[in-house]
Amino acid sequence: MRILVIGAGQVGSHLARILALHDNDVIVVDKDPAKCQNLRESIEADIHVVQGDATDPSLYEEIDLSSIDVVVAATDRDEVNLFVATLARDYGVKRIIARVRSPLVAKLMEKIGVEYVITEPLVTAKLMASIIEGKYTAINLVPVFTGNYVLVSLSISETDTSVGKSLDELDLPRESRILAVFDGENMLDPMEVERLHPNYVVIALVRRDVVQEFIQAFR
């Protein structure tokens, strides 16, 4: 796929590397020269980095936005992400994903047809609550999102059958994707997890109708 990521901060740069390593054609735009240089010097993946202002419409003519399969608006400014999402919709991009902080902006994005809107404070707060309570919580990615998938987090207990196993050994439903594993100190990529241990927290995107099946795979 040809993927455009707007914003080379921590979220955008990590996402770009992951997508590029999965053999996608990734373009990243940011106006900060230092961030662009850091990404260009990445030895992990081949990423096309463009230094430019994401609010300049002429930039998208150069990139040929109409040929992009997925646009990710990942800057730390809601107004910029809203502008990018609106422009991508006007260019006919079918898949648009955006991060926002304001629920109001999230609603605006839903109205223009953004596929996924991730409201960071809400997701983070509910994830922390589930970790503190020591149980899984199924939460919507955004309050206004009406899709079939939810973000699930579950804490591994000492009595779970998944303790000592790798993620590949678990019989997980096909309609689920593990995004990360929190080991108590670091958020790990699933590929970095050799064995599951008590108190690990698994974070995944799961279709609503198979959430219980997903949970039971660990129990």
Q: Tens digit of pLDDT for each residue in 27-46?
A: 999 999 999 998 888 766 78
Per-residue pLDDT, 142: 43
Per-residue pLDDT, 48: 93
**Higher pLDDT pick, 149 / 121:** 149
Average pLDDT over residues 167-193: 85
**Higher pLDDT pick, 123 / 98:** 98
Cβ count near 87 (within 10 Å): 20
Per-residue pLDDT, 143: 40
**Higher pLDDT pick, 179 / 87:** 87
DSSP per position, 138-201 = EE-SSTT--SSEEEEEEEPPTT-TTTT--GGGS---TTEEEEEEE-SS-EE-GGG-SS--TT-E
Q: Domain 122-216: which CATH class?
A: alpha beta
Per-residue pLDDT, 133: 57
d(CA 154, CA 170): 15
The chain-wide mean pLDDT, for the chain, equals 83
Q: According to the per-residue pLDDT averaged within each range, which of 37-41, 122-126, 163-167, 178-182 is highest? A: 163-167
| Domain residue spans of the chain | 2-114, 122-216
**Higher pLDDT pick, 103 / 166:** 166
3-state secondary structure 36-59: HHHHHCCCCCCCEEEECCCCCHHH
Per-residue pLDDT, 161: 93
Per-residue pLDDT, 156: 87
Q: Is the pLDDT of residue 157 over 90?
A: no
Contact in structure between 116 and 70 (CB atoms under 8 Å): no
**Higher pLDDT pick, 8 / 137:** 8
pLDDT digits (tens, 9 = 90+) for 101-147: 887 788 888 888 888 887 766 666 665 555 555 555 554 444 434 35
Q: Is the pLDDT of residue 191 over 60?
A: yes
pTM for the full model?
0.61
2-114 homologous superfamily: NAD(P)-binding Rossmann-like Domain (3.40.50.720)
